[in-house]
Amino acid sequence: MPHGFFTIEQWKGPAPDAKPQWIPILHLDSSQSLTKALEALEQRGQSGLYRVMQTQRCIWAEMDQGKLRLHGSHVSSPKNLSDLTELFESEGGRRPVKRAREERAQAKANKLKK
C-alpha cells in the first residue's frame, strides 16, 4: 500500500489572463490510501483531468565543504511539510543538526527515566 500523504490536483486549462496549471483541490493525510483518495475524488462528482500526487519523502539538500549533502525525511501531512519548509527558511537552508542531536538525546534520556 502506498505511504505518504496524497494531494489531488485538477488541471485548469488556459484562461484569458492565466497560464494553464495544476491546482491542488484535496489533501489526504498519511493515514489514508490511494483508494481513499480516489473515493474522495469520486464523491466530488466533477468531471475534469486530475492527478494524484503522493508525497512521502522530502529531501533537504545543502552544500557542505563544497559537496552537496542530501538528507531525507518522511512527510506525513501538508502540515508536516509546512513545518519543514518553515524550519528550512528560519535556519537559512542549514540543517539544525546540533539542536536535533540534543533533542534526540533528551528524548532518549526521558524514555529511560520511565
Q: What is the pLDDT of residues 1-60, one digit of tens each?
A: 455 688 899 999 888 888 889 999 998 887 788 888 889 999 999 999 999 988 778 888
Let me know whether 51 and 75 are in one domain.
Answer: no
Let me know whether 100 and 71 are in one domain.
Answer: yes
Let me know whether 81 and 94 are in one domain.
Answer: yes
- What total number of domains does the chain contain? 2
* Stretch 68-77: mean pLDDT: 84
What global pTM score does this model have?
0.61
CA 34 vs CA 10, 63, 81: distances in Å: 16, 35, 19
Nearest to 25 by CA among 8, 1, 44: 8
Let me know whether 49 and 88 are in one domain.
Answer: no
Let me know whether 63 and 103 are in one domain.
Answer: yes
Q: What pLDDT does 46 receive?
A: 92
| Dihedral (CA of 78, 79, 82, 84) sign | negative
Let me know whether 43 and 72 are in one domain.
Answer: no
Range of the domain at 30: 5-55
